[in-house]
Amino acid sequence: MKEYRLSAWPDLDPSYERTAYRRMLSDMSQRHVTLAQLSVRSGLARHEVIEFVGMLVGRGLVIQREAPRKDLLSATLRPLGGWLRRAIAFANNGVR
C-alpha cells in the first residue's frame, strides 16, 4: 500500500474546486496519507480519490512511499491476550 504527500500546492481546475479536494490537499500537505485515509477524510468515493491523486502524480506534485506494514494479527489479538492472562491467573488462584 502506498502513502502520498503533496510536494507543491497545485492550481486546480474548476472541477476540483470543492471542499473535499481542498481537504485532501491539506491532509497531503501535512503528512503522508493512504488512499483509504483520503477517502474517509474527504467523503469522496475511492475512485474519485484515485483519479485526483493520479492527476497530482501525473503533474509531479506528489511524493510516494510504501506505507509501513502493521501486524494486524497481533494488534487484533492483543486485547484478547490480556483477557486470557487475567482469566488464567484467576483460574490458577481460585483452584488450589
Domain range annotation of the chain: 2-70
Q: Which residues of 2-37 are buried (b: 16+ CB within 10 A; e: fewer)?
A: ebbebeeeeeeeeebeeebbeebbebbeeebbebeb
pLDDT of residue 95: 58
Which residues of the chain, if any, have pLDDT below 50? none
Place of cell 509501513: 68
pLDDT of residue 70: 66
CATH placement of domain 2-70: 1.10.10.10
| Each residue's pLDDT tens digit, 43-62 | 999 999 999 999 999 999 99
Please name the helix (run of DSSP H) or strand (run of DSSP E) that holds residue 41, with its range, or none: helix 35-42
pLDDT of residue 71: 54
pLDDT of residue 93: 78
Query: Which stretches does DSSP call E strand in 9-70?
Result: 62-66
pLDDT of residue 80: 67
